[in-house]
Amino acid sequence: MATARVGACLLVAVMCLSCGAAAAARSPEARMHRHLKRLNKPAVKSIESPDGDIIDCVHISHQPAFDHPFLKNHTIQMRPSYHPEGLYDESKTNVASSADGEKPMVQLWHQNGRCSPGTVPVRRTKKDDLLRASSFRRYGRKRHTVANPMSVDPAMLNEGGHQHAISYVQGEKYYGAKATINVWEPKIEQPNEFSLSQLWILGGSFGEDLNSIEAGWQVSPDLYGDNNTRLFTYWTSDAYQATGCYNILCAGFVQINSEVAMGASIFPLSGYSGSQYDISILIWKDPKEGHWWMQFGKEYVLGYWPSFLFSYLADSASMIEWGGEVVNSQPDGVHTSTQMGSGHFPEEGFSKASYFKNIQVVDSTNNLKAPRGLGTFTEQSNCYDVQNGNNGDWGSYFYYGGPGRSSNCQ
């Protein structure tokens, strides 16, 4: 009898230990540790940026993209089969350019080192990054935010708090888009707000089936924990519901470049009435492989979104948008003072307002060309506005942006 009691006690003890171990594995701390391990791949080398970021140089075949089941046996495309025709016709556009002809540093972390060929730079996700997110599952994702200039209900102008000032084209099949974008550091009023300037490659309707590829620069305290201006990308194949993410925070985008890190700080930045700096971004669909490639300036092909990630964009895009977006959380019931672009209206012009220039689309013959029928859209032009133009030096361009809250923007 005594032996049986001892055995029963040992069994209960083992069960309690097992329950305790299972509970520990389900704890928020343990889940966070597992999530960080999934995001942060083993590094060949790590570089600390002056802004506090850690850039991990990860072997190219170990990057987050290969967590996708469709990419397990994927052969990495190290270069696109084709570039768009006419890409190198411009003599002015560099990886980054300034009004006085400098070729500045591209990203801040370059001050302290570079990644070697065969690796890709990945901004390390920290514990604090996850703690700022509404949930681990939502970290690195955003809500439906694309401007729909074709159907705006005035009663829903601030739905979700997102406001835009954009130029756009629609009505044809598009196979890519390009622009040179002025880089600023707009002021953000609330930590849960952001300000960005980007291009959108869109396919499908604006319902739950929307496909989108996006790239540009953003300031997002909630995502990055600071107010630095950062290079970013985004993609979704279901209107931001369950697929896609910023940068390479989930499986999808395949990076091949060892020089430029998604989500890292851009340096230097434009100053009001001072030196102006811009970046050039091209996204296009390779007519042979079908993948959507991204190029940064003339020198850096960064990588690609595999065609199988998408439904509509597996063929072509039906709309292209360029411009700015902010979140207006309406703190205290009034419009946010978060800035778009430089924080100044388009009428102020060069060195004061933010711009997109050399705007082009890629057509069905893989040629870069000026967009036809360029339209503009903004929900509240007294808060953020946009003005198109065209000349021999800049081709199709526009100035955009604004200060947010003012006597005319409540």
Q: Give catalytic residues, as residue numbers.
A: 214, 325
Measure the CA angle with vertex 154, ends 152 and 160; round to 5°. Answer: 75
For residues 139 and 54, the answer to whether their CB atoms sit within 8 Å is: no
Across 218-240, b (16+ Cβ under 10 Å) vs e yields: bbbbbbbbeebbbbbbbbbbbbb
For residues 408 and 125, the answer to whether their CB atoms sit within 8 Å is: no
Q: Strands (DSSP E) along 49-99, which ranges?
A: 54-59, 96-98
Which DSSP symbol is given to 307?
A: G
Q: Report the distance separating Cα 304 and Cα 121, nearest Å.
A: 15
3 phi, psi to nearest 5 deg: -65, -40
Please give the helix or strand (H or E) that residue 15 lies within, else none: helix 2-26
Which amino acid belongs to residue 143? Answer: R
Q: Strands (DSSP E) along 258-315, which ranges?
A: 277-285, 292-296, 300-305
Q: Report the distance separating Cα 252 and Cα 239, nearest Å.
A: 16
For residues 324 and 164, the answer to whether their CB atoms sit within 8 Å is: yes
Could you tell me which residues are beta bridge partners of residue 341?
A: none
